[in-house]
Structure 1
Amino acid sequence: MQDEVRKICEKEIEQINQKVEELIEKIEGFRDYLLKIARRRKTIPIEPLTLCYFPEMLSILNTFPSILENGAVTSCYREMRKVLENLSWVVFDDLLFFRVKNRRGNGEISLLSPYRFISKEWYDWASRNQHVIRNLGDFKKEIKGLPEEIYIYGMKKGYNWNKKKIIETFFEKISYPMFLMLINADAQIPQELEGIVPQYEVKTLRDLAIRDLENIIKDLKHKRLSKSDEEFIIKLSEKLKMNSSKLIPLYPSNDFVIAFVSKVSSINLQKLYSEYSHFIHSYFTSWHIFPFSSVLEFKIYKHQLQIFADTILRLMNYYFDLFSCEGNKGLKNQKEVEDGI
């Protein structure tokens, strides 16, 4: 029976391997393009974290043909889930970090990247003490007051801003300073975790977060700030005041990171991530009993791989808007995406 399934699925396996090769080629193109930008642009103080992740991502994708050769389709889903998770993390960090960089000088952001090198020690401590941001709903609760204040101000000034647009602009403009001022733990770092759990000076972050507020208002107005706008921003920034002189970032859960990247990119990574989770838990239906037991399994996987590849390339296309050589306007045309840059 297994030999019969293998023979029937020869065409599907060939098409799957071809799709994997195409995806690898395009990811290599993205990698090479980002490497050129990182080397050429002196305005980038450190390498984008996404660039550092490409080697592992490509290594995982290169294992797919051998996994399929052994008929272990379920293992491919597990690896695809890992790619989605890790890619979301590095895009999340680069997004918040380089939004700061695209607006400010080099010296101001030398330490503003707490999630670049996360550690198990930080995760364990944060989990025990509930210093974790678990989902996007928690984050929206933290920011709710600011968009509401902006909406009321806009109504008074006759700016005609709707609440949905304010929220969207908030997510488009927020960078690490504002993010950390909103999402932080009221705690003391144990002595043994000093230097492992990150912490930041509140005053420095607050001054930079005010610039995030300025960019939000500017984007909503499509005009320069008036004196009354500047006064409102200073008043609004009072909501960011803290009693402590230092803050500790909350540790973000995988669900939050993936949801955040899904939100800002308008790409539903959560759906795929959730679907693939079936294959990492101890459900009997996810067990790989013996290879080449189902023709349908290969036909479904071919379809799912296409969805996965399209999603990854869409995310890369969105990501490269941050590093376009033409004023962050994105890749020049769809042909560049199709050709892998």
Structure 2
Amino acid sequence: MNTTNTTALLEEPRPWSRTEKSLLVAVLSVEMVLGILGNSLVLIVKIVCKYNFQCIYWLPLVSLTLSDLSCSVLIISSSLLATLTGGQRSPWCEVVSLFKFTFMTSSIGSIAILCVQRFMGIRSTGSCWSVVMVLACFTSWLFGVVFGIVPVIYGWIKYDSAEMVCAVFWESVYSDMLVYILCAFSVCVFLPFLLMLICSLLSAAGYGGKGNNRDDLSSVAPLLVVFYLLCYTPFAVSELILLGRLDMSPSPEWLRTVSSVLAYMDCGLNPILYCINQDFRQALLALLWTSRKLSLSEPELTRITKLDM
């Protein structure tokens, strides 16, 4: 398939059947609601009930939660709307593509920083290393913006009905695509992946600092790593297939759809994983039910009776 045929394929995608469209709308709706409600509750608990549970490494967890919440509000809702209306138009198309890459990069960067902090025992506040962690979190967001804006500048963005969102496609030479994907994956994906893998294995083996406290919210870090890798594996496979095709034709439609659905699912799964921590779960339940119990148990003045002496 040459470049012309690839362009034609993207301009005339296979339309969704009614059953497929209904299923995708239902799945995206559930993922959006879980992502928005779950991550919003996580932020509220971390702010309001921060003294009710231990969270020494709160900085990367807050960064991850903000990334998941933003993805649920902007990206998943845009995909849902695009599925219902049949596409996205410029300039919103380019904005969604930029933010999608930004949130994906900040997510894996935040998890990698969390793993490094737990392994080295670096608190998010109270030491000079905490400044380094702040800069690291900011850098993960910055790299996402930088590598996300390059395709926008060069006009590589097109709506892909299979991904249900605007994505990157190449119509220029193969070397441009090769250089971009290798650079983006090396800096934004491969390096954080190595940090996650090495620090997680060393922490599991009992090495490192005082970061393996089971009572701390960061104890869910291994599960965050596992589910992130599971949810983003189809995306990585899709990009590897693209690298192997010299005609720059995209990966199969079903794989691109699965990659988007699973990536969105990760945003809603993370709040559920936080609730595995008992103290955090109790703080969440206290936030939801304590005020209601107080309002029901407090006596209410209904009548005043005057007594004659």
Normalised by the shorter chain, which TM-score bucket? 0.3 to 0.5
TM-score, with normalisation over the residues of structure 2? 0.46
TM-score, with normalisation over the residues of structure 1? 0.42
